[in-house]
Each structure stands twice: as structure tokens, then as C-alpha cells.
Amino acid sequence: MSKVAAGEELVGLVDKRYTEGKSYLRSRGFLDAWPLYERMKAGDQWPPATARTKSLPRPVFNIIDFISNHKVSTVMNENVKMLFSPQEAVDEGEQSPEALVAIQAAESFTRYSDTVWELIKQDELNEEALESASNSGTGIWHYYWDSSVKGGMTMPWIGEMQGETLDPINVFFGNPQQRRVQKQPFVIITHREMVDSVREEAMANGLSRELVSTIQGDSDQTDEGYDGARKEVGQGTKVTVKTMYWREDGQVMFCRTAGSQLVKKPTFTGFKSYPLVVMQWKRRKKSIHGIGDAEGIVPNQRAINLMLAMSVYSSQLTGWPKMKINPAYVDPNQINNDPSVPLIDRSPQGETGADYMTPGQMSPHIPKLIDSFIDYTKTLSSAQDAATGDMQSGNLNASAIMLLQKAAGVPIESIKKRFYRAMEDVGRVWEEFWKTKYNTARRVAMKDDEGEGYAETFRGTDYADIGLNLKIDIGPSSSYSEQLMMASLDKLYEKQAISTEQYLRYAPKNVVPFKDRLLKELEEQMQQQQQAEAMSGAQQADPQAEAAAQLEQQLAIKEREHEQRLELEQVKGQNAQAAAAAREGTR
């Protein structure tokens, strides 16, 4: 789209592209497949009962949900941190104004990214996007500017970046064969919004009352696909709002339409890149839409459920066999299930008046086949017992289980790398927002290297011309990672390679909750020792008295060190007990 079209022409163009996008998704079968995968993951895995199948049991052993949850948790098992650095190498100690500004920009963006991560609940967005990617194959993050957010007491400000995840069924790409979202000619996003709120937005953007009144509710939810989206409260209370992004003269523009009206006129965002990030769970050749786990597991899931259903049905039919009687010898009216009431058999000797029929037995290979289906499905999906930590056989400690998990998780490493690449793209989107939209100074909360909070003035446009590199740093987040960290610190401390102060400083707070108090006591002890040395050097004391004072001081120091070591040994014992309890829990 080279130039901005007129209002009616632009609305028609957006509708045309939206219709073409839906037709493409329908032709690929995505409009039917993605809702099916969602139902299967939610446990809705059986078709409606018919007259012939109403008595058939419908067990659900949800392998899809198990595999999806495991792999999403594995990908999110490590902390993600954005590290900005000057694009142009800066020598250590360089004091030029340009170098100082570049270093300050990198440090401010790095620290503010941690703050923004918590403000917009990025962990929650990542979980939603990864669940969507695991199921349908495509995860999409979208960031936008919300002018309704206000804040600041000493430095008032208006507007803040917000984030959301999008379902691929509501996103239409101009060139779906191009995997890179930044190379798309345009992107259309649809939302179902309340008619009243859309009318208010249109009036705030300058649309006349006569045109606003033409925005009416519709029933466009029929193409939403998902069961929850198809049914709405009330009729005509919602309308489909279409947001289209495109580039014009190298700048990203957007507009919003509802029905036949232009809710938001074409507006320059000030960005060079779309505020969108797309991740493929597994790459699909010549498509921006990836392949999810459910796509290959649905047939196996149905086979497992069917075999289990037939096994249960067989048990129902044959578990209580029918009685065969001779009415000449046994009164049918006297037959009952009360064990205290005898059944009178008047048959002559050598004949039987009542007997149970022997039912046909279920094939013995069915249970083995069910177990094989489940095991092969989990193994081929990289969710075998070793990967999940469910090692029921063998006496394995935590380290051995972690090594097995690491080896079994190698196939998921490619998914992790795509996720980290997506987080790098997210960081680039944030950078553009900061350099473009954050044009007023605001007091923001940041954290230093020790995790202590402090306030700093931030205005992103001050660094608009500073080129920055971005690296995604991966850190440990699980309890097993903390145990490995403590084990390494323990070995270094036992070898006296690190001091007590270093041990406490690098130990996690949740492992040594009283580390701050211990560090403070160590600092006081060092200060007292320095004062004592200064006093002994300034005064000429009696050699015997000086020796006695030094001996007393050394004894006091050793006593304090002994107390500190006892406290550390107590912490180690508690950690060892916790690790042993964790190992017992995994068996």
C-alpha cells in the first residue's frame, strides 16, 4: 500500500483483505483444525452420542494436554533477561560524551526492561503465547500504545506500552508464505469489541454522530471458530474491529475500522517495524503458520480413547455373565442377587438346573497395545518419563535425574531457541516504543545488580539516535538449578577458594534468608578489627599486654567464625534434607 487511500476506499480495502485472509485460512483447513485442537486439549475428545453409541463409555486419557503442558513448562523453565549494549564498541575507561551516553542508554534500557517485564506481565503473555504455539503451531505477541494510562506525581506522564497475545485465527498476513513478520506487506488483526466502546472511540477520534450511529453490532463471530467465541451474550452487542498495519515511506502506519466506518484514521506510529512478534512452534515449509504438537497427536489420542472405551465396554458386558437355567428345575421368579437366599435346584442327579454362561474374552494384546500407544506417543513427542522426571525404576539421585532430563530434552532445544529469538524481537519492539513514545521524563522504579530497588528519571527519546545491540541472557529459575548453585558454592567454600562474605553474597536469598544479617555482622567484625589494628599501631603498649590483647581478639574472631560456620552448616543440612525429600517425591 504505497499511499493512504480515502476513508471509504480504505475501509473497502481492509474488508477485502480481511475476506481474502479468511478464505486463505479456510482453504488450508486452519479454521476447522485449530478449534479442534483446542477442544482436544480441553478434554472434549468425543463426538456427540448417537442412538447406536449412547451406551458406549467415553473415557478421556488426555495425552495432548500432558505433552503440551510439559513442553511449555520446559521452554519457560529458565529466566529470560534482556541485555542492551552499545552498538559501537566502547573501550573501557573511555570518557568521551558519545561513549558515556551510549553506555548510559544501554544500562537504562537493560534495567528498565526488567521493570517493564513485570509491569505488563510478560511471563503471563509468554505462557499464553507458548500454549497457543504448542497447540496450533503459532504464537503471536502484539504491543500497542495505551493513551488512557496516566501516572506520575512529581513528573506527570500520559500513555504507556501494553501487550497482549493474539490467536492466529484472528491475524491475517499479506504474504502468509513469508515466515518473517517484518517482511509482510500488511497485517490485519481482528477483535470482537462492544459496540458502545467502539462508538466512543470513533467519536473521540473525530467521527461525526451520524456516522457513529451507523456502527452496529454484527454476527461475525461465526468465523471465530472456537466454541467460546461463537456464543455471545445478547444479540448485536458486539462488532468486529479490524486493525491494519502497513508501511508507507518506510514508516509503519495503522488504522481501525468497524463495519463501514473508519474508527481510527491512518496514523503514523513512528516505528520502522511492526509491533508484532511471531513464533513458530515447529516450522512449516513456506508458511508463517507453524506446526503444533496436537496436529500429529490427535489420531493417536483418538485411538487410545477408542481402545480404552472398548475395553471398558467389554468389561461391562462380560464382567457379570448371564445365568442359564432350565425352567423345569429352577423357578425363574426365585432368582435374585441376595447371597442369603438359596436358589432351589430340583434337577435330578447328573444334570444342572442353573449355570453361568462363559463370555468371550477380550484379546490379551489390547492392554499392551494401549500402553505401547501411550509410550510411543510420549517418546516421539519428547515427553518420555526421563524428560518429565517420572523415574519409577532404579535408585537415582537428583543429579542423575537432571542429567537424564537434559539428555531427553535435547529435541526441545530448537523450540527454546525459537522462543529466545522471539524474546529478542520483543526487546526490539520495546526499544522502538521507548525511543519513540517515551518523550516525557518519568520517574520509574529500577533494580541494581544486587536486586535492590531505586528510582531514576527515564526518557527514552533522549537515546533515539543511539544504536544498541540486544542479547538475551538465560538464567536458572528452577529449584534444581538453585541446588546446583549451592553445591558449587559449597565446594568452593570447603576448598577455601572463596571467603565467607563471598559465599553469603552469592547464595540465593531463599536458600540463606538471613544472609543480610550475616553480611552486616561480618562488616562490623572487619571494622572492629581495623580499629583495633589502628589503635595498636598508634600506641606503644606493653608487649605482654599487647600479646594478650591480640590473643583475646583472635579468640573472639575464631569464636565468631565458628558460630557463622555452624549457621552455614545448619543451612546446608536443611538444604540436604530438602533435596532428599525432593528425591523421595520423584520416586
Q: What pLDDT is recorded for position 351?
A: 83
Element (H, E) at 305: helix 293-318
C-alpha cell at 150: 496516566
Q: What pLDDT is recorded for position 389?
A: 53
The answer on pLDDT for 322 being more than 70 is yes
Strands 442-447 and 453-458: antiparallel
Q: What pLDDT is recorded for position 33?
A: 94
Q: What is the pLDDT averaged over residues 510-527?
A: 74
Q: What is the pLDDT averaged over residues 198-219?
A: 90
Question: Which residue, 478, 461, 423, is CA-closest to 116?
Answer: 423
User: Between 1 and 511, where is the model more confident?
Assistant: 511
Name the band, by pLDDT with cuts 50, 70 and 90, for residue 137.
very high
C-alpha cell at 91: 573501550
The answer on pLDDT for 30 being more than 70 is yes
Mean pLDDT of the chain: 84
Query: Among 113-127, 190-204, 378-392, 452-466, where is mean pLDDT lowest?
Result: 378-392
pLDDT in tens, 56-82: 999 999 999 999 998 998 898 888 999
Name the band, by pLDDT with cuts 50, 70 and 90, for residue 506.
confident
Q: What pLDDT is recorded for position 182?
A: 95
pLDDT in tens, 323-343: 888 888 888 888 887 888 888
What are the percentages of helix, strand and coil residues in the chain, rounded to 5? 50, 20, 30
Tell me how far apart the alpha carbons of residues 282 and 111 are, in angstroms, rounded to a whole number: 32
Q: What pLDDT is recorded for position 172?
A: 97
Q: What is the pLDDT averaged over residues 206-220?
A: 88
Q: What pLDDT is recorded for position 408?
A: 57
User: Between 424 and 153, where is the model more confident?
Assistant: 424
Q: Residue 427 in 3-state DSSP?
A: helix
Q: What pLDDT is recorded for position 384?
A: 61
pLDDT in tens, 171-189: 999 999 999 999 999 999 9
Query: Among 182-186, 413-417, 504-508, where is mean pLDDT lowest?
Result: 504-508
Q: What pLDDT is recorded for position 1?
A: 47
Q: What pLDDT is recorded for position 301?
A: 92
Question: Phi then psi for 146, rounded to 5 degrees?
Answer: -110, 105
User: Between 469 and 501, where is the model more confident?
Assistant: 469
pLDDT in tens, 448-460: 876 778 889 999 9
Question: Which residue, 334, 356, 359, 358, is CA-closest to 345?
Answer: 334
The answer to whether 209 and 203 are in contact (CB under 8 A) is yes
Name the band, by pLDDT with cuts 50, 70 and 90, for residue 523.
confident
User: Between 241 and 410, where is the model more confident?
Assistant: 241
pLDDT in tens, 265-315: 999 999 999 999 999 999 999 999 999 999 989 999 999 999 999 989 888
pTM of the complete model: 0.77
Q: What is the DSSP letter of 384?
A: -
Name the band, by pLDDT with cuts 50, 70 and 90, for residue 509.
low
Q: What pLDDT is recorded for position 546?
A: 65
The answer on pLDDT for 344 being more than 50 is yes
C-alpha cell at 378: 510420549
Q: What is the pLDDT averaged over residues 84-113?
A: 84
Q: What is the Cα gyration radius of the chain?
A: 34
The answer on pLDDT for 582 being more than 70 is no
Q: Burial, 238: exposed, middle or buried (Cβ in 10 Å; 0-12, 13-18, 19+)?
A: buried
What's the N-to-C CA distance of the chain in angstroms?
A: 61
User: Between 569 and 15, where is the model more confident?
Assistant: 15
Tell me how far apart the alpha carbons of residues 218 and 66 are, in angstroms, rounded to a whole number: 38
Neighbours of 100 (CB within 10 A): 12
Q: What pLDDT is recorded for position 499?
A: 81
User: Between 586 and 476, where is the model more confident?
Assistant: 476
Q: What is the DSSP letter of 5?
A: P
Name the band, by pLDDT with cuts 50, 70 and 90, for residue 500.
confident
Out of 73-77, 546-550, 566-570, the most confident range is 73-77
Q: What pLDDT is recorded for position 533?
A: 73
Alpha helices (runs of H) in 515-542, residue ranges in sequence order: 515-538
In percent, the amount of the chain with pLDDT more than 70 equals 84
The answer to whether 423 and 80 are in contact (CB under 8 A) is yes
Q: Burial, 523: exposed, middle or buried (Cβ in 10 Å; 0-12, 13-18, 19+)?
A: exposed
The answer on pLDDT for 405 being more than 70 is no
